[in-house]
Amino acid sequence: MKLFHSPTSPYARKVVACAITRGIDGQIELLRTDPHVSPPQLLAVNPLSRIPCLVTDDGLSLFDSPVICEYLDTVGDALPLFPSHGAQRWRALKFQALADGIMDAAVGRRMEMGRPREDARDALMARHKAAVERALDVLEADPPHRAADIGSIAVACALGYLDLRFAADTWREGHPKLTAWEVAFAEEPGIARTIPAA
């Protein structure tokens, strides 16, 4: 398998963390890619020019981290990251969606920060920041479980991206339960081995 990725992408980190957690990371060749320049190799497998993008051994191109993670959950014999049914499944998927929303808002805010200042852009950045803050409050009220499932992995990757790009915002302030959860979950191999560097 081949994975088009960037080491600072929280979505790509989620995919790699899932692969490590399932013990199949050795089966994946990482192809460092800048999707913003739309390289031909990426466009050949993903017309959206977005990462992560996984090309399976049989040549199927998969994009969007939830789809890729669910595919990886079918490879190998490790315990599933996606619970099969019941409350555990919906809780894991809820946390994945909440974490992906944090990533969407944080990445959107980060991209806007690099552009010239104007009122409309400032309002959009404030909207993204408020969405992240509301999501953090939800996670503080009900942190993920310690089990390594798709929800926990996604939340850890979202928090890691906030640490990487918005360290001055100190998400930990006012979120002691979420902070304690993150400190404990950071020891999971898939999270510990994928800490992004600027």
What is the structure's pLDDT at 168? 83
Only one residue has tokens 């999270």, namely 191
- Expressed as residue numbers, the domain containing 94 is 86-188
Q: Is the C-alpha dihedral spanning 183, 184, 189, 191 positive or negative?
A: negative
The torsion of the CA quartet 99, 100, 101, 103, rounded to 10 degrees, works out to 90
Angle CA(136)–CA(140)–CA(143) in degrees, nearest 5?
105
The DSSP letter of residue 5 is E
Asked if 26 and 101 sit in the same domain, the reply is: no
User: Among 48, 72, 96, which residue terminates a domain?
Assistant: 72
Burial class, 39, CB count within 10 angstroms (exposed 0-12 / middle 13-18 / buried 19+): middle
Asked if 177 and 98 sit in the same domain, the reply is: yes
Angle CA(142)–CA(137)–CA(198) in degrees, nearest 5?
105
The pLDDT confidence band at residue 170, using thresholds 50, 70 and 90, is confident
Per-chain mean pLDDT for the chain: 94
**pLDDT more than 70, % of the chain:** 99
Helix (H) or strand (E) holding 54: strand 53-55
Asked if 92 and 182 sit in the same domain, the reply is: yes
Asked if 153 and 118 sit in the same domain, the reply is: yes
Asked if 60 and 98 sit in the same domain, the reply is: no
Asked if 176 and 93 sit in the same domain, the reply is: yes
Asked if residue 78 belongs to a domain, the reply is no
Asked if 39 and 94 sit in the same domain, the reply is: no
**pLDDT, tens digit, 9 for 90 and up, residues 88-112:** 999 999 999 999 999 999 999 998 8
Asked if 56 and 96 sit in the same domain, the reply is: no
> Token pair for residue 54?
């996984």
Asked if 114 and 170 sit in the same domain, the reply is: yes
Q: How far apart are CA 178 and CA 145, in angstroms?
A: 11
Q: How far apart are CA 178 and CA 140, in angstroms?
A: 5
Tell me the CATH number at 169.
1.20.1050.10
**pLDDT, tens digit, 9 for 90 and up, residues 114-162:** 788 888 888 998 999 999 999 999 999 999 988 899 999 999 999 999 9
Q: By the 8 A CB rule, do 57 and 1 touch?
A: yes
Question: Rounded to two decimals, what is the model's pTM?
Answer: 0.92
> Token pair for residue 71?
């595919």
Provide the domain count of the chain.
2
- The counts of H helices and E strands in the chain are 8, 4
Tell me the CATH number at 36.
3.40.30.10
What is the structure's pLDDT at 198? 65
User: Among 49, 72, 95, which residue terminates a domain?
Assistant: 72
Asked if residue 79 belongs to a domain, the reply is no
